[in-house]
Chains A and B, each alone.
Chain A
């Protein structure tokens, strides 16, 4: 039972189907979805609203269980949330009665980690994200971008090695968004995390990810996959801002745009 692969987990979603039941109706949110993510890979998922992207992340996080099929992380089938997985929701869900620092520490608190170390790490993360002056402020006093960074610090504080990001930048204005995605891409690359990013923003997906997955309308299925590479940039991976300037960018954008049939959605 020894895990011989690296410490960073691989994710495997096998033939997963998910139904939501409410008294009014049954919703088939995901139909037969299979997805593999390599250790250290950065995967972006795009798809129209309501196609089941958040549902897929909830399944991988262990918050909900598939109706059929299996989800495993690092080779082990999951049945409950694991501290190895960090999940950032669409909303920042900061707790307004806790200070920024206390918010960042909630994971460590609940997981029973060493609070002294966690506190140092949380402070360090918050300072790095430009929230050094706001450690003891309440979330009500923060701007949207600051709240999002506080939520990121909260997610990263317990040192997860798989990160699930659900439209983490959607609440931000365009410039903050570009700057923050650059920052976050750098942070995640440095720390060698495995990342699954859900976004509506095709440009964001192409510029940040190694691979972009396009989902079909509900019931969500995996429609296409694109390995993203920027040979024109050379050996290294460009930062998101640099990637947007590469010649390959527009081509990927057009292909994925066409596959999303956004004009039908509006």
Chain B
């Protein structure tokens, strides 16, 4: 769509064109159209959110939907206020956030270690490969009751968060390690690099873009692991509030918890994207899409 302006941009140069900051009318029109498109997109997004909340608010009040089933935004806002003032919001959010961060970091660290081990010894990789593939395909959610019995309430949640992200991490990172240009490895070998130095000078720094894609995938997975773990085991946390709220048929509580979860995942994702933007600048390519 922005192509339309290419022809206009190559119009005969005026004297203003020779000065660096001056922009040709065609180029200005092109920039204006880019801005206009952005406004349209953002306008629609805001409008859709507003419409959604408006319908959600009006529907139950007008009796179109049963408020027992959906709750509504003003009730959720009320619940949020109440929970903020009595401190329970901070408590439950903190419990869940801590679990997410620990599970996320644990999955990442353990996954990286395993990927390095596989890279270190091709034989170990060949031996472990089918097991990893099967473990990756296994729905980890099925393990929740077992983890609970084996590990108790707290540890089983961490274990779940790690289990959900671990094998994806291993597979993604190992694939990234293998994609490293062998000539770069040969380069450091020329200077007598040991296997550890090949790892620290080439393989790990060369895999930073892969690590960031893995982080993005893992934030989502760690959230899934933690919430599912909390459904089964927790005495606190947003997942616990969701099960508790649904058991006592308090949709306000359920919806409020889901809302807070959405905020947490958005913030974590934004954090990773800003890390990506700063780190990947030096890797020659900008951040890779969303």
Contact = CB atoms under 8 A, between A and B. Distances in A.
Interface residues of A, number: 23
Q: Interface residues of B toward A: which range?
A: 20 to 34
B282 A81 contact: no
B206 A140 contact: no
Interface string B173-197: 0000000010110111111110001
Nearest to A158: B191
A107 interface: yes
Given A97-B208, A106-B191, A91 B284 contact: no
Interface string A89-119: 1010101111000000011011100000000
Given A89-B183, A91-B183, A93-B181, A140 B190 contact: no
A140 B283 contact: yes
Interface string B122-142: 000000000000000000000
B91 interface: no
- Give chain A's interface secondary structure class: loop
Contacts of B189: 63, 81
A93 B187 contact: yes
B284 A110 contact: no
Contacts of A87: 190
Contact of B191 (A91, A93, A98, A111): A111
Interface of A: 61, 63, 80-81, 83, 85, 87, 89, 91, 93, 95-98, 106-107, 109-111, 138-140, 158
In the A-B complex, the 8 residue pairs with the smallest Cβ-Cβ separation, listed nearest first, are A140-B284, A110-B191, A93-B183, A107-B191, A81-B190, A97-B205, A138-B282, A93-B187
Given A96-B283, A106-B187, 13 more contacts: A61-B190, A63-B190, A83-B192, A89-B183, A89-B186, A93-B186, A93-B187, A95-B184, A95-B205, A96-B282, A110-B191, A138-B282, A158-B191
Interface of B: 181, 183-184, 186-193, 197, 201-202, 205-206, 208, 282-285
